[in-house]
Amino acid sequence: MNAVAVDRDTREAVEAFMFREAELLDGGQFREWLGLLDPDIRYVVPVRTTREDSAGWVGAIAHWNDDYTGLEMRVLRGETDFSWAESPRSRTRHFVSNIRTVAGPEADELTVRSNLLFFRSRGDSGRWELLSAERVDVLRRTDDSLRLA
């Protein structure tokens, strides 16, 4: 990670952005969430393996590897009657912490690492899922906001 520090205002803007993203996702406001994305986004969730002889990531495959159009299609499909996997809709909570921000590879970009604890439950079963992860994001500065790139 590039070690060029950012100023306090930038750090606070990044934190507000990350918390707003979590709020939109947990509230089911997926179209609004799309508004946080840069049109050239590449959204990758790599597959993690547990092996002694490996760095832990499988580079050739991913749980998700979408561009903006792919993410938009997921959101639009979720609004149809054919989204059976999310009927009823999951109850989620994104807990974002340990947000670390440094200058990114380009002048208008920031590299952001954060820790995520994701909780999901569905229906009245009492069963739930918990996922712990580290995120590495690129945020791009625009004239009036930050965008996930």
Task: Report the Cα–Cα distance between both ends of the chain, in Å, rounded.
Answer: 17
* CA angle (102, 114, 7) in 5-degree steps: 30
Is residue 124 a part of any domain in this protein?
yes
Taking residues 135-141, what's their average pLDDT? 97
Is residue 1 a part of any domain in this protein?
no
Domain housing 58 = 8-148
pLDDT digits (tens, 9 = 90+) for 3-50: 688 999 999 999 999 999 999 999 999 999 999 999 999 999 888 777
pLDDT digits (tens, 9 = 90+) for 49-99: 776 766 666 567 788 889 999 999 999 999 988 888 888 889 999 999 999
Is residue 2 a part of any domain in this protein?
no
Q: How far apart are CA 74 and CA 37, in angstroms?
A: 14
Is residue 3 a part of any domain in this protein?
no
CATH code assigned at 68: 3.10.450.50
Tell me the DSSP string of 69-129.
HHHHHHHHHHTSTT-GGGSSPPEEEEEEEEEEEEE-SSTTEEEEEEEEEEEEE-TTS--EE
Structural domains in the chain (count): 1
Is residue 136 a part of any domain in this protein?
yes
Please compute Rg for the chain using Cα positions.
Answer: 17
116 within 8 A of 98, measured Cβ to Cβ: no
Which pLDDT does position 2 carry in this prediction? 43
Please list, in sequence order, all residues whose beta carbon lies within 8 angstroms of the beta carbon of residue 96, skipping any fewer than 6 positions away: 18, 19, 22, 114, 115, 116
